[in-house]
């Protein structure tokens, strides 16, 4: 026990500047592209809405993330464009990170698809509770940890300007994108209580659609990579979709989890998706592993160039 305490104290003294991954994690990335890439804004043919709720792990390590995003194509000064809004609320222990971004993308039509360049800008709000609790190693009770001078004496809230960039390409059978979040490296002002600087995350994503001949099935493999220059996370996914409305599949997240996914699209265009992360890292040994994620999406066609043809009965001509 003494050795563990000594190692912990040495670590705290040596680590005067600690950096960690900031952006939240998702399993249904193929349905949540605007959250990580502003270049996706307006890529669909209509108003695209996505709501997602993720409950990661259990107990004191639990992380709760809520996302709402919406985007649509439009013409700005005769230029094909897209606009969107992205809302993310991420609760990690005593931290709550709230971000609200507006997205804008310029779209070019190419011979084999469309290419978009996007930017987002908005507000990053962080709050930190002053009441911290640490698990007592000798019992199941929790004891107050108010003696630590590094913990602020009162609840703290601060905000900062935030921005990101992204590029996105899409064809009938293929998509790919790259983006960088927090290019301004926002640093919220906590009035010298403590320092918290947000570093950027680089994303790469891509996917392919393969129709299985003479069947109603499609294979939808995809990859999703993100890095904050200190660690890399890679998701490799394969979905099988039936009649364009029902899907299921698996994801392997390198050194972290195996994810089971399933979903359906109703005739009115509403999508429902669910995923469950089976933790394969050391966290699984704590009994707190396992993650549930629910997605609801909807796409409303707003192609105004289409004209509804009306016919009259010959009885009333």
Mean pLDDT of 176-189: 90
pLDDT 10s digits, 214-233: 999 999 999 999 998 888 99
Mean pLDDT of 288-296: 88
Q: What is the pLDDT of residue 130?
A: 73
Strands 142-144 and 133-135: antiparallel
> 138: Cβ–Cβ under 8 A, 6 or more apart, which residues?
none
Percent of the chain at pLDDT above 90?
57
Higher pLDDT, 41 or 192: 41
pLDDT 10s digits, 46-59: 899 999 999 988 76
Q: Please determine, for residue 91, whether its predicted confidence score (pLDDT) is greater than 50.
A: yes
Work out the number of other CB atoms within 10 angstroms of the CB of residue 275.
Answer: 24
Q: What is the pLDDT of residue 188?
A: 75
Higher pLDDT, 305 or 110: 110
Work out the number of other CB atoms within 10 angstroms of the CB of residue 215.
Answer: 9
CA angle centred on 48, ends 43 and 53, rounded to 5°: 120
Write down the mean pLDDT value for the chain: 83
- Count CA atoms within 13 Å of residue 119 on its CB side: 6
Mean pLDDT of 167-193: 88
E-strand stretches of the chain: 46-56, 63-76, 79-92, 95-110, 113-128, 133-135, 142-144, 156-170, 174-180, 202-208, 210-211, 217-227, 232-242, 246-253, 257-265, 270-279, 291-301
> 153: Cβ–Cβ under 8 A, 6 or more apart, which residues?
130
Specify the range with the lowest mean pLDDT, choosing from 71-80, 147-156, 270-279: 147-156
CB of 59 within 8 A of CB of 112? no
Residue 214: both structure tokens together = 């003479």
Q: What is the pLDDT of residue 180?
A: 96
The CATH H-level superfamily of 45-300 is monomeric porin ompg (2.40.160.40)
Q: Please determine, for residue 145, whether its predicted confidence score (pLDDT) is greater than 90.
A: no
Higher pLDDT, 154 or 92: 92
Q: How many residues does the chain have?
A: 317
Q: Domains of the chain: which residue ranges?
A: 45-300
Q: Please determine, for residue 139, whether its predicted confidence score (pLDDT) is greater than 60.
A: no
CB of 33 within 8 A of CB of 205? yes
Residue 189: both structure tokens together = 């002002």
Q: What is the pLDDT of residue 95?
A: 84
Report the C-alpha gap between 195 and 187 in whole angstroms: 8
pLDDT 10s digits, 119-133: 999 999 988 877 666
- Residue 301 DSSP SS3: strand
Q: What is the pLDDT of residue 133?
A: 60
Q: What is the pLDDT of residue 304?
A: 52
Q: What is the pLDDT of residue 156?
A: 80
Q: What is the pLDDT of residue 229?
A: 84
Report the C-alpha gap between 69 and 253 in whole angstroms: 24
Mean pLDDT of 49-73: 89
> 123: Cβ–Cβ under 8 A, 6 or more apart, which residues?
99, 100, 101, 159, 160, 161, 162
Q: Please determine, for residue 169, whether its predicted confidence score (pLDDT) is greater than 80.
A: yes
Report the C-alpha gap between 136 and 133 in whole angstroms: 9
> 142: Cβ–Cβ under 8 A, 6 or more apart, which residues?
133, 134, 135, 136
């Amino acid at each position: 026990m003494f050795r563990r305490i000594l190692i912990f104290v040495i670590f705290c003294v040596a680590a005067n500047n600690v950096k960690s991954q900031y952006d939240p994690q998702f399993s249904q990335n193929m349905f949540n592209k605007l959250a990580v890439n502003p270049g996706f804004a307006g890529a669909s043919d209509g108003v695209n809405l996505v709501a997602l709720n993720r409950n990661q792990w259990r107990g004191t390590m639990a992380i709760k993330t809520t996302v709402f995003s919406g985007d649509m194509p439009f013409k700005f000064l005769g230029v094909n464009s897209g606009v969107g809004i992205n809302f993310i609320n991420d609760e990690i222990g005593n931290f709550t990170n709230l971000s609200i971004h507006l997205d804008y993308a310029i779209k070019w039509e190419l011979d084999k698809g469309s290419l978009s360049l996007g930017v987002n800008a908005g507000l990053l709000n962080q709050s930190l509770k002053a009441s911290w609790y640490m698990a007592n190693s000798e019992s199941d009770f929790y004891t107050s940890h108010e003696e630590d001078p590094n913990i602020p004496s009162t609840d703290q809230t601060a905000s900062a300007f935030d921005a990101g960039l992204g590029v996105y390409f899409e064809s009938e059978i293929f998509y790919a994108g790259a983006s960088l979040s927090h290019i301004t490296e926002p640093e919220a002002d906590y009035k010298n209580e403590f320092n918290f600087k947000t570093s950027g995350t680089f994303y790469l994503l891509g996917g392919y659609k393969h129709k299985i001949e003479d069947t109603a099935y499609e294979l939808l493999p995809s990859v999703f990579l993100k890095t904050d220059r200190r660690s890399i996370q890679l998701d490799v996914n394969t979905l099988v979709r039936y009649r364009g409305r029902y899907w299921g599949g698996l994801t392997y997240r390198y050194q972290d989890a195996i994810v089971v996914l399933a979903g359906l699209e109703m005739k009115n265009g509403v999508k429902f998706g669910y995923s469950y992360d089976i933790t394969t890292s050391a966290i699984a040994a704590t009994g707190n592993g396992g993650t549930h994620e629910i997605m609801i999406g909807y796409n409303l066609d707003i192609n105004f160039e289409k004209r509804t043809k009306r016919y009259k009965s010959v009885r009333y001509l």
